[in-house]
Structure 1
Amino acid sequence: MDSAAGAAPVFPDPPARAVEPGVRADDWATDWAVPWSDLMMTMFVLFAALFAAGLTRGEGPRSPGAVEQVAQPRPTPSLEPLTRIDVLERSREAVREARMEEVDVVLTRDNAVRVSVRGPLFFDLGSDALRPEAQAFLRRLAEIIRATPYRVQVIGHTDDYPTRGGRFPTNWELSVLRATRVARFLIEEGGVEPARFTVMGRASYDPVVPNLSDRHRALNRRVDILITRERFVPEAGT
């Protein structure tokens, strides 16, 4: 008994596991793989079915962490084109009502409405006195201008004949004074704000056709009234 003192304790071996006939003992270490693979296959089939259903609804796959887009409110449609068309058509209507044949109303490239009055309709040859028959048309045009928020340009033009002294040393003075007469009538008789106007003269340097005949020169003697797309903002205190 004393010789056995200090020896390491000896434990009995665990009971042997029963092994089915034809099955090796080490197969028990991997017998979990079969049900696990069946479970993975089932999950794969389920995922594939959900993926196909999403494509059918047009949703498509979503990447992890993707943020769903929030519908933005639609912008309010601009009424600017409607205003422009109204000014253009109303100006043409004013021409028809006045039965004025020597007037063109067009839309320029920068979306201004240009009313071009040609020939002796506004003025006699070499004169800056506004003819009476033009006044009814200008009053009607002033109503249209007052209904808009835009600035107005009045531009006078002449032909290439030189002036013969008197009040107009050159065609520059004549073209500017004709534009001034039209602007003053629109202001004083038509009630349009003076600050909305820009008045200028181009003399004979902006012809619509070459000055090769009396007929062409009559076309070049004109006054252009442009209702621009620049909004007029009154200054404080005006």
Structure 2
Amino acid sequence: MKRNKFEVPRTTQPWLITFADLLMVILILFVLLYSYSDTDFKSATNSFQNHNRGSAPEESGGGGIAGDGEEKPSDGESEGEKTVPKEYEKQLEEMIKREKHIQEILDYVKTYATKHDLEGKMTVTPTEKGIEVILPEIMLFPSGKADLKEEAILFLDDMAPLLAEISNIIEIEGHTDNRPISTERFPSNWDLSTARANIVIRHLTEKHKLDPNRFKAIGYGEYKPISTNNTDEGRSKNRRVVLIISNEELAK
């Protein structure tokens, strides 16, 4: 019997027919979706672009209403203008004020160092912890003692009002060189370094009434040198008090 010339020949891979039908259905679906949503898609695109440019939607007419029920910006506000909440404005003002006071402290320390030829010994360094001010023993204490010199008292008296203007936590570190000390008052370098840190804090809190809760006293003795202990110059650098204006503020 002869095969009809219009009969579709059988394929050896019947899944191809189903796959072709599926592709056709998907193609038709996309065509329908595009035809129904073309206008809305363009409108949404234009609206998104206008929003990114900070412009208001087109007005639909009078009455002060823009778009679909959206309020028209008032005359006192420019389009796209953002209002900063008052609490954030206050925080920003306090931050600027605090930074200004810290800068005043740094300027005073630098001026003092220049005036008293201490530029190589009295240094100011920003660190991750805060602002670190190194005060050499020579400007604060007699060797082996924890009694403030007259010039140290004048320096701290000038610093106190500046420190009172900020609420940052302040750490006072005492450091010595590695030469042993053994006196009735200071049996070790631990005791000497801690006593020096304490006397600085006591002067600021007792005489100038700064909040004691802001201060921390730490004595490191000889165990955190910044120079060699094999020379007089190196030992002189190691004998120091470090005032750290911490980034941390006292909780209110």
- What is the TM-score with the length of structure 2 in the denominator? 0.61
Alignment partner for residue 44 of structure 2, among 62, 69, 76? 62
CA 61–213 in structure 1, closer or farther in 2 if over 3 Å, else same: farther
CA 202–72 in structure 1, closer or farther in 2 if over 3 Å, else same: farther
Q: Report the 3-state secondary structure (helix = DSSP H, G, I; strand = E; otherwise coil) of the residue aligned with 2:44.
A: coil
Shift of 1:89: 4.1
How far apart, CA to CA, are the structure 1 residues paired with 2:185 and 2:202? 19
Shift of 1:72: 7.7
- Count of residue pairs the alignment pairs up: 178
More helix by share: 2
How far apart, CA to CA, are the structure 2 residues paired with 1:209 and 1:184? 28
Q: Which runs of 5+ in 2 are unaligned?
A: 1-37, 55-79
CA 140–64 in structure 1, closer or farther in 2 if over 3 Å, else same: closer
Shift of 1:190: 2.3
* Aligned: 1:93 with 2:97: no
User: RMSD of aligned C-alpha atoms?
Assistant: 3.3
Q: Report the 3-state secondary structure (helix = DSSP H, G, I; strand = E; otherwise coil) of the residue aligned with 1:195.
A: helix
Shift of 1:233: 2.6
Is the Cα–Cα contact under 8 Å of residues 94 and 140 in structure 1 kept in the other structure? no
Shift of 1:106: 2.1
Q: Report the 3-state secondary structure (helix = DSSP H, G, I; strand = E; otherwise coil) of the residue aligned with 1:224.
A: strand
Q: Which runs of 5+ in 1 are unaligned?
A: 1-46, 52-59
Q: Report the 3-state secondary structure (helix = DSSP H, G, I; strand = E; otherwise coil) of the residue aligned with 1:62.
A: helix
Runs of 4+ in 1 over 6 A off after TM superposition: 64-68
How far apart, CA to CA, are the structure 1 residues paired with 2:149 and 2:47? 77
How far apart, CA to CA, are the structure 2 residues paired with 1:126 and 1:97? 24
* Structure 2 counterpart of 1:167: 185
* Aligned: 1:121 with 2:139: yes
* Aligned: 1:230 with 2:248: yes
Is the Cα–Cα contact under 8 Å of residues 95 and 137 in structure 1 kept in the other structure? no
Deviations 1:168-188 (A, max 9, x none): 111111100000010101112
How far apart, CA to CA, are the structure 2 residues paired with 1:92 and 1:212? 33
What code does the residue aligned with 1:172 have? W
Deviations 1:49-70 (A, max 9, x none): xx9xxxxxxxx86359979858
Is the Cα–Cα contact under 8 Å of residues 88 and 107 in structure 1 kept in the other structure? no
Alignment partner for residue 106 of structure 1, among 116, 119, 125? 125
Q: Which has the larger radius of gyration?
A: 1
